[in-house]
């Protein structure tokens, strides 16, 4: 790639994205009415990234069913009423030439928890608006309340729920969706042998443990219009002995090679508490690179990517096709503008017209 590849356009499926600096999904826990509807907070939050020069934004985990929320304050897309709530968020992003995709999620056994904003931890009790959680097998994450195992008919119904969420996202104007199969949430729970102890068609070997995710991908792809982007977020490793690992991740993505996944957003961890994650700059980048080279499917790298030159190097080294920023984007919603200056790229096109007077030029 060229020295300015961070700001070169990229096609994701049929979606043209103006640059390769994207915003990773980050929960906001701010649907205060507990009904899954985004609020003014979300319009400002996502709007800041659109005016800040990011090429694409992935929304926070947005649940396809009420009981799939991580917390009662999480976002939702389980009813047609949510479509109109999300539409202003999408329209504002598009006004500023930023693409936006919705992350479709189900938190599984990690649902019904107190949010980070509440100052409390643990499971939300029923009296406070909590609910029974579900997973592939009976069990719990740490000190959270144990979940019940989904019946086989409930599992078979799950792909249609994700597909309905995708259909509604398209009606709201989103450029596509990302299926959340990472961080110990439901689809990742089915993948991980540390969590999935089923002895039916959805358990056992990799073929069985990946069946639900493959069915979800197929169902979602089937309802997306031609040209809409389909992203998949995975945890490439559980960082725990006997768990999901990079070899299985490569095999999974190879299974999905013809399923219509346009890009794999490569994260890691979250399945079990006894994980040992070597957190540091670029600690997940090699996982994205390995999948990219082994499968020829584009990947996104995420995790402690904060320096513009480092982000550029990741692309130039062939480790990923795009980079996704999380906390760095929260700290600096106009990170791409600073990056353009540090990489000596004309950043004027990243500014809204109202801000053009602030274009950073040498010596000013």
Nearest-angstrom CA–CA distance, 277 and 253: 22
pTM: 0.96
The alpha-helical segments, DSSP class H, found in the chain are 40-51, 81-95, 152-171, 186-191, 206-209, 211-223, 246-255, 285-295, 308-316, 327-331, 335-342
Rounded Cα–Cα distance for residues 243 and 248 (Å): 10
Give tens-digit pLDDT for 127-181: 999 999 999 999 999 999 999 999 999 999 999 999 999 999 999 999 999 999 9
In a domain, 364, yes or no: no
Q: What is the pLDDT of residue 364?
A: 52
- The reply to whether 47 falls in a domain is yes
Q: Tell me whether residue 363 is in a domain.
A: no
Cβ atoms of 272 and 306 closer than 8 Å: no
Q: One of 185, 202, 283, 355 is an active-site residue; which one?
A: 185
Q: What is the pLDDT of residues 78-122, one digit of tens each?
A: 999 999 999 999 999 999 999 999 999 999 999 999 999 999 999
Q: Is residue 1's pLDDT more than 70?
A: no
Burial class (CB in 10 A: 0-12, 13-18, 19+), 225: exposed
- Give the whole-number percent of the chain exceeding pLDDT 90: 90
pLDDT band for position 3 (50/70/90)? low
Q: Does residue 154 fall inside a structural domain?
A: yes
The reported pLDDT for the residue numbered 346 is 85
Q: Answer yes or no: is pLDDT of 341 > 60.
A: yes
pLDDT of residue 356: 76
Would you call 206 exposed, middle or buried from its count of C-beta atoms within 10 A (0-12, 13-18, 19+)? middle
Q: How many domains does the chain divide into?
A: 1
DSSP summary character for residue 182: -
Residue 241 resides in a domain: yes
**Strand-pair category, 99-105 with 56-63:** parallel
- Asked if residue 35 belongs to a domain, the reply is yes
Select the more confidently predicted residue: 80 or 356.
80
Mean pLDDT for the stretch of residues 302-326? 96
Burial grade of 360 (CB within 10 A; 0-12, 13-18, 19 or more)? middle
pLDDT higher than 80, residue 23: yes
Q: How far apart are the first and last CA of the chain?
A: 29
Q: What is the DSSP letter of 2?
A: -
Query: 221-249: per-residue pLDDT in tens?
Result: 999 999 999 999 999 999 999 999 999 99
What's the domain range around 312? 5-358
pLDDT of 178 reads 99
CA distances from 11 to 166, 223, 321, 344, 353 (A): 20, 20, 10, 24, 25
**Residue 361 pLDDT grade (very low, low, confident, very high; cuts 50, 70, 90):** low
Contact indicator for 108, 63 with CB cutoff of 8 Å = no
Tokens of residue 253, six digits: 């993505």
Q: Confirm whether 234 is domain-assigned.
A: yes
Q: What CATH number has the domain bearing residue 231?
A: 3.20.20.70
Is residue 185 flagged as an active site residue? yes
Residue 360 has pLDDT above 60, yes or no: no
């Amino acid at each position: 790639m060229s020295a300015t590849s961070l700001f070169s356009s990229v096609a994701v499926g049929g979606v043209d994205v103006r640059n390769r600096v994207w915003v990773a999904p980050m929960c906001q826990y701010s649907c205060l009415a507990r009904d899954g509807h985004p609020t003014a907070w979300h319009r400002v939050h996502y709007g800041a990234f659109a005016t800040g020069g990011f090429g694409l934004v992935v929304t926070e985990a947005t649940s396809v069913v009420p009981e799939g929320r991580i917390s009662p304050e999480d976002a939702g897309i389980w009813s047609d009423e949510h479509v109109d709530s999300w539409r202003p968020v999408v329209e504002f992003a598009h006004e500023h030439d930023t693409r936006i995709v919705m992350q479709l999620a189900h938190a599984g056994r990690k649902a019904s928890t107190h949010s980070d904003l509440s100052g409390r931890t643990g499971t939300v009790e029923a009296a406070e608006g909590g609910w029974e959680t579900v997973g592939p097998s009976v069990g719990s994450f740490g000190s959270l309340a144990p979940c019940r195992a989904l019946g086989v008919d409930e599992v078979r119904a799950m792909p249609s729920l994700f597909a309905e969420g995708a259909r509604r996202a398209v009606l709201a104007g989103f450029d596509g969706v990302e299926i959340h199969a990472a961080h110990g949430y439901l689809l990742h729970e089915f993948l991980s042998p540390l969590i999935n102890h089923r002895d039916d068609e959805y358990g056992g070997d990799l073929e069985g443990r990946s069946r639900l995710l493959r069915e979800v991908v197929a169902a979602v792809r089937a309802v997306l219009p031609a040209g809409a982007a389909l992203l998949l977020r995975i945890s490439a490793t559980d960082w725990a002995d006997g768990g999901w690992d990079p070899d299985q991740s490569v095999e999974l993505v190879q299974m999905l090679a013809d399923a219509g996944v346009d890009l794999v957003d490569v994260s890691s961890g979250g399945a079990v508490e006894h994980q040992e994650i070597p957190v540091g700059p670029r600690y997940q980048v090699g996982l994205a690179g390995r999948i990219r080279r082994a499968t020829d499917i584009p990947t996104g790298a995420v995790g402690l990517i904060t320096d513009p030159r480092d982000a550029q190097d990741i692309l130039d080294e062939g480790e990923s096709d795009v980079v996704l920023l999380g906390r760095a984007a929260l700290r600096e919603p106009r990170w791409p503008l600073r990056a353009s200056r540090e990489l000596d790229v004309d950043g004027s096109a990243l500014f809204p017209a109202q801000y053009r007077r602030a274009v950073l030029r040498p010596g000013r």
